[in-house]
Amino acid sequence: MASMASRTLWAALKRPTFLLSSWPWRAMAYLLSGVPVGLLGLIAITAAVAVGGALAIVLVGVPLLLAVVLSGVPMGAVERRRLRLLDRREVHTPHELPGAPGLRPWAATRLKEAASWRELAYTLLFVTVLWPLDLLAVVFAFTVPVGLMATPYLLAAYGDGDRTMALKQWAVTSYPEAWGMAALGLLLLPAAFYALTALAGARAHWARTLLT
């Protein structure tokens, strides 16, 4: 069990020392590292579609549109590498070697593979929906506990007539209330780590199913 706990996130979640391990931070790294990857992918695909569509009438844009169709191949490779943050098991590529060297045989082989189309579907969903949801989940999960933990400081520094608003929702008028809010935030912090780690694990499992 110890060896498995060192290899997979799901095994690590079952251990009482989970919060003291590197796994919660690896899960955060997985979710947050998808933000620049997804944003750059969205920009590249949008630009290629716009330019390729405009130039397709003179056939110059056709290679760009073909690149969009095959954009799932490099994105799939990047996502398989990111899986190593949460799962130390070996990740295999689903692609076959082309029958001959060169770009044309490579592209023809990739277009015939179901794996390439699965990667394209994953890529389009990832660049439009998944990375914004990952970022939103991380921000929300930590805004609540950290905001509550900051209540005593807000009351002391910015309290208007010995009054402040916890998370802009609840009026706090005394330090016992403020410290109670801080204690609640401290209790919610481990829950945030567990929830985000479970989200990262589910995302990684789905990505592994589609991309390997």
pLDDT in tens, the chain (212 residues): 333 445 678 878 888 888 888 899 999 999 999 999 999 999 999 998 888 777 767 666 778 888 888 899 999 999 999 998 888 777 888 888 888 888 888 888 888 999 999 999 999 999 999 999 999 999 999 888 888 888 788 777 765 556 665 656 666 667 787 788 788 888 989 999 999 999 999 999 899 988 88
Tell me, what's the pLDDT at 4? 40
Angle at 206 between CA 141 and CA 127, to 5 degrees: 70
Report the half-sphere exposure of 173 (CA within 13 A, side-chain side): 2
Q: What is the pLDDT of residue 5?
A: 44
CA angle 51, 33, 66 (to 5 degrees): 25
Nearest to 61 by CA among 70, 50, 52, 69: 52
First to last CA, the chain: 25
3-state SS class at 94: coil
Burial class from Cβ neighbours inside 10 Å (0-12, 13-18, 19+) for residue 11 reads middle
Residue with tokens 């844009």: 61
Strand partners, 172: 164
Classify 50 as helix, strand or coil.
helix
160: left (phi over 0), alpha (psi -120 to 50) or beta: beta
